[in-house]
Amino acid sequence: MLCNPLPLTLPLDIWGEIVQHVYFEGDMDTLRSLSLCCRALLPFCQRELFYSVLIPERVPEHATERDARIQELHQILSQSPHISNYVRIFTFFIALADVNNPIIREIVARFTRIRFLELDHRDTTTNRLLDWDLFDEGFKGAFKDIIQLPHLESLDLATFTNVPTSTFLDLSQELEIINLNEVELKDDLKSPTPGLLRASRSGRIPQPSLITAMNGCGDIISLLLNATPQLVDFTKLDYIGIGWDKENIVAVVSRMLKAAPALEFLSCRGTNGTTIPFRGLANAISAANLKSLEQLEVMPALTVLNTGPSDDLLWGLRDEVALLATKSKLKKFNIRFELYGSHFGLPTKLGELDSLFETKNFFPTLRKLSIQILVLVEDTRTVHERHTLRTELEQGCYDECRRIQRTPGLVFDCDVSVETVHLG
């Protein structure tokens, strides 16, 4: 490494600003070059170069390259342990081949100051959830240490099964965001042992984490609401995304809304393969009497409009909109859904929604209604055919929603996109 003095006699904090600017520009090659030009600049460059660490997916054509990068990262952290203190964001797309890999365990154990953690398993070949029980105790312990770190702000866990609920005992008090997408929890807190209630390794009695945003399916929300001791405090929650995936989901949502008096944004999304109607959502929102709720997003599961004209719009959503309009003070309402099958009846279905806006004082506080539609068609369609279909459907939807467009003070946006899907 060169030890020549810096070419300009600028204060080190100015050089630090320059290094940070290079990082924000995304010029990693220049950043690496700067780290070699002078010993004084090395710490500044290392902080930026290792601020975010990503271990990508393990796809067959790049498996060897990925494994080499993991080995390189382990070697760097072993030779320069202080670098792990610079890591604030850790994103790890874990593969089945990584399970019980001692190098992986050692890397994870070194990150003691991260603020944002994303652990995801993407098995593109089998599309299965990764069984948490496959990990050895060393990895599980390292992961649990991370989510209990005092400065962790965001936890994103996806596509795992058999994750013990007790893993989330004594979460970081700084934790604000929890995303548990396609995660199946194993309830091991039904009969908590005395050990679960003792002081944690940090020396304090476990306290519920006070979060502001969360994503999870009905089962996860239910478990967190029922957990003893309490794992999460929802009193400061302002956003929640709930998977519409079980028969008693309305009851779960009702409890969730009552536990979150500061909620501003509620997102309800269906799960493909389920046809749980949205009936009961409006009454649940009304019963919770949330004065802060301003935005609602509804995303039904994949919808097929090919079983006759009597189909209700989007699994009972039409009737819920009618009830919601007189019982809420929403300012933004977003409907998003995927459509497959006979899409020609789509404008007529939206016309049924439009007819509701004849009612006096319908959504008196609503300022924006957004409808986003993804139409899936056979992959035999050409680009021109898809463009023509999108244009026709979008125009048809606008033509059927004239009452909505005439509502004073309301911005109406209808976005239709068309994508191909392989049917074989």
Sequence spans of domains, the chain: 1-49, 51-187+206-233, 260-424
Encode pLDDT of 370-424 as tens digits. Answer: 988 888 877 777 888 888 888 888 888 888 888 888 888 889 888 888 887 665 4
Residue 307 predicted with pLDDT over 80: no
Average pLDDT for 125-142 = 83
User: What pLDDT, on a 0 to 100 scale, did the predictor assign at position 316?
Assistant: 67
Is the pLDDT at 362 greater than 60? The verdict is yes
Note the CATH architecture for domain 51-187+206-233: Alpha-Beta Horseshoe (3.80)
Q: Which of 147, 98, 93 is nearest to 120 (CA)?
A: 93
Which of the residue ranges 73-77, 174-178, 212-216, 335-339 would you say has the lowest mean pLDDT?
A: 335-339
221: part of which helix (H) or strand (E)?
helix 218-226
- Mind listing the pLDDT tens digit for each residue in 212-232? 899 888 888 888 888 777 788
Per-residue pLDDT, 207: 65
CB 412 within 8 A of CB 353: no
Q: Report how many helices (DSSP H) and strands (DSSP E) the chain contains, helices first.
A: 13, 16
Residue 114 pLDDT level (bands cut at 50, 70, 90): very high
The whole-angstrom separation of Cα 363 and Cα 369 is 10
Q: How many residues does the chain have?
A: 424
Residue 202, pLDDT above cutoff 70: no
Contact (CB, 8 A) for 350 and 303: no
Task: Report which of residues 54 and 43 the model is more confident about.
Answer: 54
pLDDT over threshold 70, residue 240: yes
pTM of the complete model beyond 0.85: no
Asked if residue 197 has pLDDT above 50, the reply is no
Helical axes 137-147 vs 102-110, angle rounded to 10°:
20
Taking the CA atoms of residue 398, residue 404, residue 405 and residue 409 in that order, the dihedral angle to the nearest 10 degrees is: -150
Q: Rg of the Cα trace of the chain?
A: 26
Average pLDDT in the 143-167 region? 88
